[in-house]
Amino acid sequence: MILVTGGSGFLGGAVVRRLVARGETVRSLQRQDSPDLRKLGVDIVHADLADRDAVIQAAQTCEAVIHIAAKTGVWGPQEDYYRANVLGTRNIIEACLANNIRRLVYTSTPSVIHAGGDIEGVDESIPLATHFEIAYPATKAEAEQLVRSANSTELGTVALRPHLIWGPHDPQLTARILARGKIGRLRLVGKGLKLIDSVYIDNAVDAHLLALDRIAPGAACAGNAYFITQGEPMPQRDLINGILKAGGLPPCEKYISPRAAYALGAIMEIIWKVLGRLDEPMMTRFVAKQLATAHWYDISAAKRDLGYAPLISVTQGLQILKQSLRGA
């Protein structure tokens, strides 16, 4: 049996479905119910990752763990991110050791290496950032270090860093672009010419299953982290406008300067703090920096050690997205 955390999420659910499709018995540890997964025969366990005993119990009889669940976002109390991302990951590692599980795949993020400037064609030799402006990348970096340090002769661990996952049924990147495009509130920071790389959902799932099949104590990928993308760096505006086109919307032709976006983010953060709002501001200083800088990576290591190859191109993914949205 394979334990997947976060099966009710976009990536987690897609991983669970693929595992079931290839004949695996799957248990999903999650906080929300998923009737569609239950219909597939998935064993749903409701538990909080911060509950050590519950996590250890959920991992009983499992032979491997894919740890995807995390608190994401750019706003909210530090302690909430720490509880879910750091404490939760520590409990997953303890659950693996307590149940003699020898394979652990962890979903990290490229944000762990972002220091605020352009990231262009770097590989995994680049060190983790030493300063983080928000809790999400800070706690994910700490969790990734825990996972990689846990690699041993008893437990093989590997961390994946998928960047900007998108595709049909994506409630984050794709949904936000389409929602803001519909009401005319979408802006490109700068001219949208900075190169970014992303990963289509099916390719992200492929990477997780490849890692699951290859990880073991002493494996070539054991103890390592890998960037997972399309391997197709493109101007930011091309991906955004491609998603808009798939949704039947006109391209974004409105711009805001990086300096103005950063200032707007600072103002909105102050307002949100004064009002005590917990929802995410439309712009923050962190988001402004992300949108104003290049983010693309060398995925040679994932190809070499995991056998990863993006099977669906951006063009193909956008066509699938278009068909999905038309059928919605």
| CB atoms near residue 195 (< 10 Å) | 18
Is-catalytic flag, 297? no
Query: Which amino acid makes up residue 88?
Result: G
CA distance 15 to 163: 16
Nearest residue to 10 (alpha-carbon basis) of 26, 27, 34: 34
Cβ proximity of 255 and 187 under 8 Å: yes
Identity at 142, one-letter amino acid code: E
Catalytic residue among 106, 136, 262, 297: 136
Query: What's the start-to-end Cα distance of the chain, in Å?
Result: 33
Contacts for 214 with CB less than 8 Å, ≥ 6 apart: 158, 220, 221, 305, 306, 307
Q: How many CA atoms are closer than 13 Å to the CA of 9, on its beta-carbon side?
A: 20
Dihedral angle over CA of 161, 201, 120, 173, nearest 10: -100
Active-site positions read 136
